[in-house]
């Protein structure tokens, strides 16, 4: 929300743009973690972009036989995101939530697709107008982890917008936009360099 500089992005900053108002801070730059957001090419929302490296850790918590929950924390241990979902059902589904439990996006695996395609929508929606992106394996026979990411605006789907490439020997992955690395995940700890 304009004029407020929270430590964490609110649900409203992710899901909808604030309405025009007479607020003197209405034209102030959007803030994320107390820093003005510079990136205008975001997928989910500007509230999740900062102009510096951020180290995050993913912790896995088991809930029952087939369910798992992941928590994403910063270097100080503050909860930033939660991911929950079950892998026991035929159509897999994961929900990324903010620290208080509001859904940011929902990931669903398409049933019986050769490339193991997942589609990602804003919030808990499954409506076409809320589609953010889709992810699929680059190759039918996976020799290594290689995923193609297509934004919703990429209608042709011939060239991916992002690519995720994993390396088993170093237990790491990198996210590319063209030839540029925009994020990296390393074994043992999971920092994202954006």
pLDDT (0 to 100) of residue 142 = 65
pLDDT at res. 107: 92
Q: Return the structure tokens found at 91.
A: 């159509």
Which CATH code, of 3.40.50.2300, 3.20.20.70, 2.40.160.200, 1.10.1660.10, is assigned to 54-192?
A: 2.40.160.200
Q: Which segments in the chain show pLDDT lower than 70?
A: 1-41, 63-67, 86-91, 141-142, 188-194
- pLDDT value of position 134: 92
pTM of the model: 0.69
In the chain, where the domains are located: 1-52, 54-192
Q: d(Cα 88, Cα 65) in Å, to the nearest integer?
A: 9
> 128 phi and psi, to 5 degrees?
-60, -40
- The percent of residues above 90 in pLDDT, for the chain, comes to 30
Nearest to 99 by CA among 188, 192, 7, 191: 7
> Cα(56)–Cα(80) distance, rounded to whole angstroms?
9
The full DSSP string for 120-133 is EEETT---GGGEEE
The vertex-59 CA angle with 91 and 54, nearest 5°, equals 105
Cα–Cα dist 43/47, whole Å: 11
Which tens digit of pLDDT belongs to each residue from 152-181? 998 777 899 999 998 777 778 899 999 999
Token pair belonging to 171: 């237990």
Can you give the pLDDT at residue 139? 78
| Per-position DSSP letters for 12-40, written without gaps between them | HHHH-PPPP-S-TTTTSPPEETTEE----
Q: How many residues does the chain have?
A: 194
Mean pLDDT taken over the chain = 74
């Amino acid at each position: 929300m304009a004029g407020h500089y929270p430590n964490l992005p609110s649900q409203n900053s992710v899901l909808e743009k604030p309405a025009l108002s007479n607020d003197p801070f209405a034209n102030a730059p959007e803030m994320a973690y107390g820093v003005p957001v510079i990136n205008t090419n975001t997928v989910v929302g500007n509230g999740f972009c900062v102009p510096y490296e951020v180290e995050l850790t993913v912790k896995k918590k088991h809930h029952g036989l087939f369910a798992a929950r992941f928590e994403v924390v910063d270097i100080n241990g503050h909860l930033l995101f939660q991911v929950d979902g079950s892998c026991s059902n035929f159509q897999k589904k994961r929900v990324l939530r903010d620290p208080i439990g509001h859904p940011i996006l929902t990931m669903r695996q398409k049933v019986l697709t050769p490339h193991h395609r997942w589609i990602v929508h804003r919030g808990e929606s499954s409506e076409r107008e809320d589609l953010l992106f889709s992810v699929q394996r680059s190759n039918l026979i996976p020799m290594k982890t290689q995923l193609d990411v297509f934004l919703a605006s990429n209608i042709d789907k011939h060239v991916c917008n992002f690519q995720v490439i994993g390396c088993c020997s170093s237990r790491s992955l990198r996210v590319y936009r063209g030839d540029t690395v925009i994020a990296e995940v390393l074994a043992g700890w999971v920092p994202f360099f954006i």
